[in-house]
Amino acid sequence: MNQVDYLRISLIDRCNFRCLYCMPEGSQLDYILQQQLLTNEELLTLIEEVFIPVGFTRFRLTGGEPLLRPRVVDLVRAIASFPQTQDLAMTTNGFLLAPIAQSLYDAGLSRINISLDSLDPDIFHQIIGIHGRSRWQEVWDGIQAAYRVGFNPLKLNVVVIPGVNDHEILDLAALTIEKQWHVRFIEFMPIGNGQLFSDRGWVSSAELRQQIRDRWGLTESQVCGAGPADVFQIPGAKGTLGFISQMSECFCDRCNRMRLSADGWLRPCLLNETGQLDLKTALRSGVSTYQLQEQVKNLLVIKPEINFKGRDSGVEGAYSRTMSQIGG
């Protein structure tokens, strides 16, 4: 059985972007009210007194957009300071990153993934659903700042949408030739914008690899903390390429993670809502952290049965929430 030691923590469900693959156009998401969010103190109590004692040692802060969370640097510092924390990472859209990259690094954030779906500012703005000011430039500045302060490996996430950014695969892959960056291509999933998924479909990692192989060749490689990505390298490149193939290849049997939503629901599987625990309500109603440990341990035991096991498993309601709500 896989050891489950990795917790993805959503700090907030709100976002300053509306990526077309994540939030359906014109949709009104029901945001979590402020008083329903786990406070910093509650979150730290759950990590220190529930998750660490049952064996979690690696944490990723995500959202929504995690940099919208007030006092995010303090949270990073506190989580990094637990002696059992072996790895503390963040996934961000990078828009607010440049001014605080150094503080996050100094506070103990070990790794960072930044979403960058296009090198063309016009296409980028079309994808993030926000026009006007040049958000692309601010995200690019955030990437440069993160690289400068020493985040290594610096990972860039690209969700590939047919007819939108799939013509940029080679340009995005080429970023790894001169820079020690790790560019990860993520297969588009029917979570969030099911209509776009039905209209456009998705591009498989195998097709993407073939394009890159035809241009430069491709060798297998490794990168620190690669998780579910298959890692390759353009021969002679400084950086690496990752492919996350959750559509074409089921890696549920290797799943080593759980997710904690911003309002305190512990979710054992991204795509199956079975078995979720409402840790915030339990904590607020006085359930002891020892009892919560027992509940999480029980969930760990049944997790292999809950895991989605591929698109044909027939799990009902699998895609009823967006990645921004679950904590992607």
Please select the residue that binds ligand SF4; options are 5, 11, 17, 260, rule is CB under 6 A.
17
Comparing CA positions, the residue from 286, 209, 197 lying closest to residue 241 is: 209
As a whole number of angstroms, the distance between CA 273 and CA 267 comes to 7
Q: Are 181 and 152 in contact (CB under 8 A)?
A: no
Q: Collapsing DSSP states into helix, strand and coil, what is residue 32? A: coil
To the nearest 10 degrees (0 to 180), the angle between helices 205-216 and 169-178 is: 60
Q: Measured at CB, which residue is nearest to ligand SAM?
A: 328
Interacting positions 83-142 with ligand SF4 (CB under 6 A): 93, 115
Interface with ligand SF4, residue 18, by CB under 6 A: yes
Q: Are 192 and 21 in contact (CB under 8 A)?
A: yes
Which C-beta is closer to ligand SF4: that of 23 or that of 38?
23
Binding-site partner at residue 191 among ligand SF4, ligand SAM, none, CB < 5 to 8 Å by type:
ligand SAM
For ligand SAM, what does the binding mask look like between residues 41 and 80, x meaning CB under 6 A? ---------------------xx-x---------------
Binding-site partner at residue 188 among ligand SAM, ligand SF4, none, CB < 5 to 8 Å by type:
ligand SAM
Tokens of 87: 């790895």
Binding-site partner at residue 18 among ligand SF4, ligand SAM, none, CB < 5 to 8 Å by type:
ligand SF4
Binding-site partner at residue 157 among ligand SF4, ligand SAM, none, CB < 5 to 8 Å by type:
ligand SAM
Strand partners of residue 7: 59, 258
Please select the residue that binds ligand SAM; options are 93, 205, 233, 307, rule is CB under 6 A.
93
Please select the residue that binds ligand SAM; options are 183, 186, 208, 292, rule is CB under 6 A.
186
Please select the residue that binds ligand SAM; options are 142, 153, 192, 227, rule is CB under 6 A.
192
Q: Collapsing DSSP states into helix, strand and coil, what is residue 72? A: helix
The DSSP-derived string for 261-299 is: -TTSEEESBTTB-TT-EEHHHHHHTT--HHHHHHHHHHH
Interface with ligand SF4, residue 324, by CB under 6 A: yes
As a whole number of angstroms, the distance between CA 215 and CA 310 comes to 32
Which residues are at the interface with ligand SAM (CB under 6 A)? 15, 21-22, 62-63, 65, 91-93, 115, 157, 159, 186, 188-189, 191-192, 323-324, 328
